[in-house]
Amino acid sequence: MDDHHHAFELIFAFRCQINDLSKKVKAISTVQEVSDLTTVSVAPRRRIEEAADPTDGKAVVLKRVSKSAKTTTMLKTALRNCDLLKALDITHIEAIVEVMQQTSYTKDDVVIREGTDAVEMYVLEHGDVEVSHDEGDGKRQVIHKMTAGATLGEIALLFNTKRTANVIALNNCTIWSINRSQFKKIMQNTNETEYIDRSTFLRRISILRHLSDYEVAKIAHVADRETYQKNQYIVREGFEGETFYIIVKGKCAVYQLDEKTNKQMFLRELAAGTHFGEKALLFNSDLRTATVQASTEVQVLTLEKKDVLRLIGNIPDNYSARPDPDQGYVAIKKQPEADKDPDISLANLATMSILGEGGFGKVELVKVRKQNRFYARKRVARTKINKKDMELEKTIMQTSECKFIVKLFYTLTDSHYVYLLMEPCLGGELWTHLKKHKRFPEDRAQFYVACTIEAIQFLHLRKIVYRDIKPENLLIDRHGYAKLADFGLARITQPGSKRWTCCGTPEYMAPEVLLKYGHDFSVDYWALGVLIYELTMGEPPFKSPKFIMKGIDVATFPNRITRPGKDIVKALVQVNPSKRLGNFKGGIDEIKNHRWFQAFDWQGLQKRTINAPWEPILRTDWDTRYFDQQNSDRTTGM
């Protein structure tokens, strides 16, 4: 694994070590995060270049392992109680339990050794284990004792981290495990199958048959799975209902009140694949005309009327004219590079300053010799690029249409590197200014977020998901406006489809990225919410993956942030992507119309006629004072 990938995967594991915390603090952190078996720093994050999850692409075989009913129940319960995994539904849990493998340990056996690669998650069925830290001279500091039912090292399912503690058997132990490759395969298989099944069910329903693929995808993703026990009532006659049901598994009996006898009369039986309650999606007030009771254990998919209205609007009574599914989208067109300039060559560019350096290469401020022309030159090793991805990055940056994206002028190559000559944004990274000021007033944060929204809207209209919003990737131009840079993780994504790569900056990753549920444009809306929080609070809301899974409710909001500020963050940082602001019928415009932006001049921003909250003072065209020169391994977003 190269340093570039390795740095990303270790970002959570080495936060404390980066800041050289004392052993005492390290021990406390480990007690708090012992189930993760990794340490997470509360200090401001260090800039590390992120990349895709490096889990290798070899074929993964999911082999079912036989287990007793008692063991199966124990494993399901343990996974359900795990903070990192409790968001998974029963289909995921069952699939994970099926492939978990058993290992037996005797007293003093090492289950996990500190410093080794973290690949597997463990569940302790029988016995006790001791968690400890190496202190040198062969001594260990005991941190914690864990007993049957505990989960160990579950963060290994998300990242290729290093173990930060030892786990040693205190007696005979029975432990079950699953590795990251298996987990990733299960998540992708299960989610793809689930999505196909849901879409197929929805397509069979007459009132939904004329929806576009994108609309079907949106409501398929918002449908909830519910389980009812035998004889449990699902709906009651005469009660108001706003929920539509699709039976996935089991059977239901339908009854109706006979007014003459005042008794419930059996009408028919409903089996898997059938549905009921569709009127709830069509009418403002629907009183149930029958009672539905579970004849067996029943699993159903449910659609709430409010969710359907929010995502696609009213289901039309007349389906004669459906809108073009591509309506509103703009084709991303490759712009021609500037005319070949004889003065633009590697030999004729003088390096003025290093703006950033990291695993991908180097960014320098360069000057055309004997001319007053300056560029930011990004050097990328040929061995570290995917040609198709690089072409997309170039295409995005070459477009002349967006004033909120760093512009690319020329591309040069030699035998080892590709060089991108871009506009120099000498106001520096937004991250550097945030670090200096600790946090921004809301009006200043609002301006930078608005610039980001303009860039993201431009990309989304061209079916491009960005996937790496953060202050480090926002550069300030000479007029104080923020511009989005670094499109290495951007990908073209068809509406209604999913991407599966685990990539981005961990503090900004949405739950569906971490848990490999498959993700789409809504990951950028989650990141916008995290960005608002970090710019106004001075730090991101989540310091560990397990807190990300719990959502924004675990974050604190000091009184200095206004109610509209809190509301927009909570609306964006929703664990369920289908309930995330920006993912509704109105799209990203619903973010722009939120009351946090009530007095904001969007037209002035787009025309660049409003004053930025801060403008850099540049003495020369090569003044790089606003770049962080102290960290030689910082990687500028350019």
Q: Is 378 annotated as a binding residue?
A: yes
Q: Are 420 and 487 in contact (CB under 8 A)?
A: no
Q: Give SS3 for 471.
A: helix
Is 159 annotated in some ligand binding site? no
The tokens describing 186, both together, are 């299960």
Ligand-binding site membership of 152 (annotated): no
- CA 629 to centroid of chain Cα atoms: 31
137 an active-site residue?
no
Amino acid in the structure at residue 225: R
Per the annotation, does 362 bind a ligand? yes
Q: Spell out the alpha helix ranges (H) of 438-476.
A: 442-460
Give the position of tokens 């205190």: 170
Listing DSSP states for 74-108 in one string gives: HHHHHHHT-TTTTTS-HHHHHHHHHH-EEEEE-TT
CA atoms within 13 A on the CB side of 182: 20
> How many Å apart are CA 65 and CA 102, to the nearest integer?
9
CA torsion 27→31→35→39, rounded to 10°?
-40
* Given 468, 486, 524, 628, the catalytic residue: 468
Structural contact between residues 425 and 483, judged by C-beta atoms closer than 8 angstroms: yes
How many angstroms separate the CA atoms of 143 and 124, rounded?
A: 17
Residue 585 counted as an annotated binding residue: no
Phi and psi torsions of 582, nearest 5°: 105, -25
Q: What are 340's two structure tokens?
A: 């070949």
Best CA proximity match to 463, nearest among 390, 516, 521: 521
> Is 363 marked within a binding site?
yes
Taking the C-alpha atoms of residue 530 and residue 341, their distance in angstroms, rounded to an integer, is: 42
Placement of tokens 């359907």 in the chain: 308
Helices (H), 207-329: 213-222, 305-312
Cα three-residue angle 565-569-572, rounded to 5 degrees: 140
Q: Tokens 């569906």 — which residue?
A: 512
Q: Which residues make up each annotated binding site for ATP?
A: 355-363, 378
**Which residues are annotated as catalytic?**
468
Q: Which residues make up each annotated binding site?
A: 355-363, 378
